[in-house]
Every structure is written in C-alpha cells, then in structure tokens.
Amino acid sequence: MPNSPVDTVALDLSADVVTLTAALCDIESVSLDEAAICDAIEAALAPLTHLTVTRIGNTLVARTDLGRDERVVLAGHIDTVPLTQDPANLPTHRQGDDLWGRGTVDMKGGVAVQLKAALVAEPSRDLTFVFYEGEEIDSEFNGLLHIHDQRPDLIEDADFAVLLEPTGSIVEGGCKGTLRAEVTTKGVAAHSARPWNGHNAIHDAGEVLTRLAAYQPETVMVDGLEYREAMNAVGITGGIAGNVIPDRCVVTVNYRYAPDKSPEDALGVVHQLFSGYVVEVKDNAPGARPGLHLPAAKAFVEALGVDVVAKQGWTDVARFSAMGVPAVNFGPGDPNLAHHDEERCPVSQLESAEAALLRWLA
C-alpha cells in the first residue's frame, strides 16, 4: 500500500545531481519496499506537464508526446539490496570526491540522472522514462516484466533504450544470453564392495567434462561489438551414500551466448555438444542486440564520446530486446562496488553522466 501524501518525501529536481542522488538513496527502498520512493518520484514528476505518467504497482512510466522522429527509453530500477550495519550504508555521506551509501552505485545515481533529464521540456527525441521495482530479486517481481505483461504499448514504440546501470561511465552494448542446463548420466546402483553388479554414473560424467574442456567457444561480432561466448560446468552432484555405487550424476552447465543467437539456437548448441545424454534446461534467458547501427544509438555514442564495449554478462536490456527495442547499458559508478559495504560513486561520474545525456537531448 503506497504511503499517504503527507508521508511522501519531497524530491527537489532542481537540485544538483549529487544532492538528488543522495536524497534518493536516503529513501530506503530495499526490494519489495519501494512504495515510498515510487511515491516521491511520482510526486516530483507530477508538475512536469510535458510528461504523461502511468503507475503499475511501484513502477512508473513517464512519456513525452512531442511528435519527434525517434523515441528513446531511459530506464533504471529504484530498489536496492538490503542494508548492512557494519558499516552502516545509510544515510549517505560525502567523503572526498565520492558519495558513499547504499544505492549510490546500484543504481540511484543513474535514477538521479534520469530525473535531471526529465526536466528537459523540449528534448530532441521523444522520451520514455521507466523507474521500476524489483530488479534485485526474483524475476516475478521485476517491474519491466510487469510492463511487458500489462502495458507493453508503453515501451514497444521506442527505437532505442538506455539502461542506466553502473558501467563506470562507458557504454556497454546489449548483453549475452544465458542458458543453464542439467546434463544427467545414468547408472545402476550396487554395493560399493561389489561394483561389478552396478554401473557408476559419476564415472560416466567424466565424458561430459571432457567434452566441456574440449569445447571451443565462439567470439561473435554483433552490431560491431565483440561478444565472447562461454560454456562452463558450474555444479556437479551425485551419489546417495558412501557405500553405494551412484546410479545418477548431474552436471550443471552454464552457456553464455552471443545476442545473434535465439534461445532455441543456444539450446541446439547444448544438445549437439551433449548428444547421447539427458539434457534438461532450467533457465534460458535471451540476450539483447545493442542496435548501434540505429541513428539514435549512433547519436548517443557520439554525444557521450566514451568507449563502447560489449556487455559480457546479462542485464535487463534483454527485457527491452524481448519487446523489440535494442538497448545499451550506461551509467555512473563502478559495478564492482555494487552491493558492497563500501558502495560509493565518484561525484565526477554523476556530473559527467548528466552532462552527456543533456548533450544528447539538446
């Protein structure tokens, strides 16, 4: 249940981006407790008459409708991982050239940059701002998924999207897909003193591991960026007792695949590699193309004037791709400090990220 209006924290969008970041961080918003920060952002956007705001749960979508030739999404999640007490993550504080506190990196610095961009009444492109809940926990709580399921029309008309996750203020294009599968070997149980009466499933797993070790992952160019695929064993289980020949062994495999492949393509690669074994897919999330050939993407990269690399992991840009919108990651903060007790963001990165976006929208 959202807080009543008298409880809503007032955000001053005219404040500098560092002050705004601190104000956002100081509204505690651990996943599933985003109502207060969603209320505050909604109240701050309400006076901006060039925006139409839609709320879905604790997710906000704010859109311009200026008849521009292009529409671009600027998106960021408003939840954080839980706080720790030693040292305390909040309230935020300045120390030297850094702003310290939970959310300064992941990712209320990026949200503050979005809000500063929302003040631009006549941007060069139509904009769709997305402030969404539930990114740090299970997918079912993710606000982008809720938009996809309930109001995809709010995003599907966009040409390009920027997810302001922390990247150290470089552009990371698209993302790789990720497939997790269980490869099972089957044996026959027997007493370990008389193994000839059974068949050892764990021994058979050696062939699975041999195929993995011999596998040569591809490096794929997609929209001018180089994605390095990877296939690895990430877990192995088998055996029921210390005196029983195991009748089953499961090797868990994770395949990170380039965004030129569909989930079905990726599954085909895994099935081919482990032909003859039982393969059960547990998770298969597609990647996202960066779309750097598109005019909006080209203009974005040119305006920023920063390095552009492929995103080698998986991020929510894949959810935009599922709605037909290519996307990149760009935001202030070192991703290595996300969720860290010493989470902090250089003031200069907050300021430069804001300046870059405003150049692009001018």
| Residues belonging to the active site | 79, 135
- Do 300 and 160 contact (CB within 8 A), yes or no? yes
* Structure token digits, residue 80: 């954080």
Q: Which long-range contacts (CB under 8 A, 24 or more apart) does 1-9 make?
A: 1/35, 2/35, 2/38, 2/39, 2/58, 3/35, 3/36, 3/39, 5/39, 5/43, 7/36, 7/39, 8/36, 8/39, 8/40, 8/43, 9/36, 9/37, 9/39, 9/40
Q: Is residue 111 packed enough to be buried (19+ CB in 10 Å), middle (13-18) or exposed (0-12)?
A: buried
Closest CA to 343 of 353, 335, 351: 335
Q: Supply the Cα-derived Rg of the chain in whole angstroms.
A: 24
- The helix (H) or strand (E) run that includes residue 114 is helix 108-118
Distances, alpha carbon 285 to alpha carbons 77, 177, 268, 325, 358, in Å = 19, 6, 14, 16, 33
Closest CA to 305 of 237, 357, 229, 253: 357
Strand-pair category, 225-228 with 327-329: unpaired
Single-letter amino acid, residue 174: G
Q: What is the DSSP string of 291-336?
A: -TTSHHHHHHHHHHT--EEE--S--THHHHHHTT--EEE--SS-GG
| Torsion sign over Cα 265, 266, 270, 276 | negative
For residues 34 and 307, what is the distance between their CA atoms, to the nearest angstrom? 33
Which letter does DSSP use for residue 4 in this model?
P
* Structure token digits, residue 99: 């702003």
Closest CA to 170 of 72, 297, 301: 301
* Structure token digits, residue 360: 């692009």
